Chains A and B, each alone.
Chain A
């Protein structure tokens, strides 16, 4: 698929805190009192216009995330109300829909990634999107009938240029640098953690275990979340942290901090594509599809780079000044979802055995 100049930064999936709820911040000072009232009464429900309910991870719906912009943008023309229900992770959003089954209020689940696509499809809860996605540009060909990609990014080790002037350029080089410390995330509890397992597998196949064994002495700790890992890295506890190629763009654009960079590995980088899908049980499937079309339109995609810090899928969007440069398709690694679904436990086991 032809790809122009994608924009992008970081990915938020990691933002989720597994023991937390998610939700958007609203500004009403009365909210606490309304909250107290909620204990006693059920809130008023939608009126005459249809309500489009979207389950997503909390950072997507945060004040500074894409949610509020997408909501106001879509509501301007849809004659509907958009409600983001933010749970603590995209997987929690999927699990919630699974538990609710046919009775779910959700019309759309937004924010899963390709590692979980096969499992999500197997639930049978999702409907064909029916959109023409030929105008989108991703580093891989996309022809999925159910899932609409809305942004993407590559996993990478982020480092501080001042303290690590010459970063390693491959897993093997990393393993060979004496005393170099990295922080990674647990694949059982966190999406980037699973991404790293897939990355090493895609790059090294049956030699993955050897790479993990070589990496083991460099691992400071294996955190439960991207946030904990990244915070420890920022606190100076490691030389590199598993994050995204777009992480440095956040520091540059939002903070004016040029110190951070993502190490380029010659094995290539594993791709994460975030996806959205309409539920088969949705009472407004047409409205839901319209939202997905809006989500991937130039207008909807323009929100993505500096709110979700990922690359937009629509080539008509211009990346902001200072944004990370997208990697080439040749530098992109991705394992198909069915293979991931079938093997992830074994691969995680291999990783744990090697570094334990």
Chain B
């Protein structure tokens, strides 16, 4: 048994480091609060903000997961050329700056959007109501996260063990029975961590909620934190609010981290011929795919269309764009590499915990301890992260400008970590189960086993995880608000600054460039990492 503990210990140490970082970030604000006592008064409507945020995040998660399952189910049954590219393009929502997607949604569904323009021309009337409100928030969150859910569930279905499919086919299961008996158990195991990631993204969503929310009745908890930092400077209150947020989010973090991954439900890709459904189920599947293409694709098309303007080429050819592009690529590459390395540590540790658990030793606590801190990081409000990282950087004595890029890389890597670990976890768990014996018989070291056996075999998953981590970082610029490095700009930042200076055409061009870059990265990176033989994964 002891041979399993090396990797578990590594995972526990990493998890402890992440937990310490979170504690240090909060503590640094607590220490600073001694110098800035503030009023100590919590924001006036903190209870209301929590309720609306909880409602919004729960609804968004539910809608995203259900849609994701439906899309995955349809994709698994309906084979068409470019199916994987289709999934990759859908995933762009997750990794674009949320504000870009929100504006894409408005360009399609808004008062002056495509749908209403079309309806006006055809029928002389607009859609009832507006896109602004709780439904607008949930809809935008669906576009941001639904494709991720689809991708993860689809991977589960695509990895269905061949013997199960064979059995199902010989029993001539109907579409519903097939879903309940074969698909659902495979998907179910992936849901807790998927739902947790989506819930945490939605809970901490700020720009989307305020842009589409339609007013303070749908405001988000984070405005209370803004209030505590902007109106009277009260870092202690900001830290307490962040702690409350963290505590609430543990409701989803604990099941996500503690739930077994169900790796036994993953097999080798079936060599059986494609097994489609027939009749109404197939019609429903095709309709689902077409609907998904419209719902997810139209806002992205709108973002692209926004770039069609005079001066777009000049923007793309400007030195500022070239510099921001290069900076973004470097930061994204570094954070993706870091995220993958950290995710491997966590996923390998969890895989060994599963091995121990299989022998009957209670190991749920280890799973929880390894998994929870990475999720907890996602529950931290961006403003608290910015303040905390700034305070911690000052402790190191380094010039803020100098450490800003490193902190951005770390912050982005941690943001992508739970997702990357969730992608790598199940295949590694399955592999560990099968290679543990091999390792023993060949007397392989853990390192050799990792490099020679495990990494080559999970290359497709590594590719997808790396692509997602890369693009998440590409679209984000969260924590360096206070660092103010005079020589540091990334593409999202370039876009935001242009937007803030009436230069909406420039902003639209940069947004479209980001979208193209993201799609390109989502298609290319998995190929680069997985190798030509694995492109299908």
Contacts and interface: CB of A to CB of B under 8 A. Distances in A.
Contact of A31 (B43, B107, B487, B504): B487
Report which residue of A19, A216, A349 has the largest number of chain B beta carbons within 10 angstroms of its beta carbon. A19
Interface stretch (B248-256, B288-296, B320-328, B436-444): B320-328
B496 A188 contact: no
B402 interface: yes
Interface in B345-399: 382-383, 386-387, 390-391, 394, 398-399
A99 B29 CA distance: 10
Interface stretch (B56-64, B195-203, B204-212): B204-212
Report which residue of B103, B215, B405, B492 has the largest number of chain A beta carbons within 10 angstroms of its beta carbon. B215
B405 A38 contact: yes
B219 A25 contact: no
Contact of A42 (B39, B207, B399, B478): B399
Interface stretch (B69-77, B84-92, B221-229): B221-229
A76 interface: no
A36 B398 CA distance: 16
A100 B483 CA distance: 12
Given A21-B485, A188-B227, A99 B391 contact: yes
A352 interface: yes
Nearest to B478: A19
Contact of A21 (B320, B391, B404, B500): B404
Contact of B330 (A19, A35, A64): A35
A43 to B, nearest CB: 6
Interface stretch (A127-135, A140-148, A165-173, A233-241): A233-241
A47 interface: no
A186 B216 contact: yes
Interface in B22-75: 32, 35-36, 39, 41, 43-45, 48
Contact of A26 (B44, B212, B487, B496): B487
Interface majority SS (helix, strand, loop, mixed), chain B: helix
Interface residues of B, number: 86
A162 B482 CA distance: 41
Interface in A1-56: 10, 12, 14-29, 31-32, 34-36, 38-39, 41-43, 55
Given A14-B500, A17-B497, A83-B486, A352 B45 contact: yes
Report which residue of B212, B329, B382 has the largest number of chain A beta carbons within 10 angstroms of its beta carbon. B212
B107 A235 contact: yes
B493 A20 contact: yes
A87 B226 contact: no
A42 B402 CA distance: 6
Report which residue of B41, B322, B386, B481 has the largest number of chain A beta carbons within 10 angstroms of its beta carbon. B481
A188 B207 contact: no
Contact of B207 (A35, A41, A84, A228): A228
A200 to B, nearest CB: 15
Contact of A95 (B229, B382, B480, B504): B229
Interface string A75-98: 000000001111110011101101
A219 interface: yes
Contacts of A58: 484, 497, 500
A219 B489 CA distance: 34
A57 to B, nearest CB: 9
Contact of A223 (B210, B233, B394, B496): B210
Contacts of A352: 44-45, 216
Given A25-B324, A237-B110, 13 more contacts: A17-B493, A17-B499, A43-B399, A43-B401, A85-B486, A188-B230, A223-B211, A224-B210, A224-B223, A228-B207, A232-B110, A235-B110, A356-B48
10 contacts: A15-B501, A18-B383, A23-B487, A24-B487, A59-B497, A99-B32, A188-B226, A216-B215, A225-B500, A237-B106
Interface of B: 32, 35-36, 39, 41, 43-45, 48, 99, 103, 106-107, 110-112, 130, 132, 206-207, 210-217, 219, 223-224, 226-227, 229-233, 319-320, 322-324, 326-327, 329-330, 382-383, 386-387, 390-391, 394, 398-399, 401-402, 404-406, 409, 477-478, 480-489, 492-494, 496-497, 499-504, 507
Interface of A: 10, 12, 14-29, 31-32, 34-36, 38-39, 41-43, 55, 58-59, 61-65, 83-88, 91-93, 95-96, 98-101, 119, 181, 186, 188-189, 216, 219-228, 230-232, 234-238, 247, 250-251, 254, 309, 344-345, 348-349, 352, 355-356
